Amino acid sequence: MPYIRIDSERCKGCELCVTMCPRQCIEIGKKINGQGYYFANFVKPDACTGCAICGETCPDVAIEVWR
Ligand code: SF4
Ligand code: SF4
C-alpha cells in the first residue's frame, strides 16, 4: 500500500503539497514544530496512490514516498 512520511521538523507549512495532492491526502495541522511552523500531516492514507507529486513538490524535501 502506498505511503508517505512527512518530516514535521523540516516542514515550513507552505501548503504546496496540500494544494498539489490530487487526492487531498495532506492537511496543515494545528500543532507547531520546533521552527515555529504549522506543519503538514498525512490525513488520508487510504486515498494515497503513491504518485509522489507531494514529494517532488516539497521545496524542503520533507516528504518521503513509498509505493
Ligand atoms: S503520493 Fe500522491 S496521492 Fe499520495 S499524498 Fe502524495 S500527492 Fe497525494
Ligand atoms: S510542501 Fe513541504 S514544506 Fe510545504 S507544507 Fe508540504 S511538507 Fe511542508
pTM exceeding 0.95: yes
Give SS3 for 17.
helix
Per domain, the residue ranges of the chain are 3-66
Residue-wise pLDDT tens digits, 20-53: 999 999 999 999 999 999 999 999 999 999 999 9
Residue nearest to atom 1 of ligand 2 (CA): 58
User: How many angstroms does the Cα of residue 1 sit away from the middle of ligand 2?
Assistant: 22
Residue-wise pLDDT tens digits, 2-18: 999 999 999 999 999 99
Please name the CATH architecture into which domain 3-66 falls: 2-Layer Sandwich (3.30)
Phi, psi of 43 (to 5 degrees): -100, -15
Cell numbers given for 46: 487510504
Q: Is 16 in the pocket of ligand 2 (CB under 6 A)?
A: yes
Cell numbers given for 25: 491526502
User: How many angstroms does the Cα of residue 60 sit away from the middle of ligand 1?
Assistant: 16
Tell me which amino acid residue 59 is.
P
Residue nearest to atom 8 of ligand 1 (CA): 21
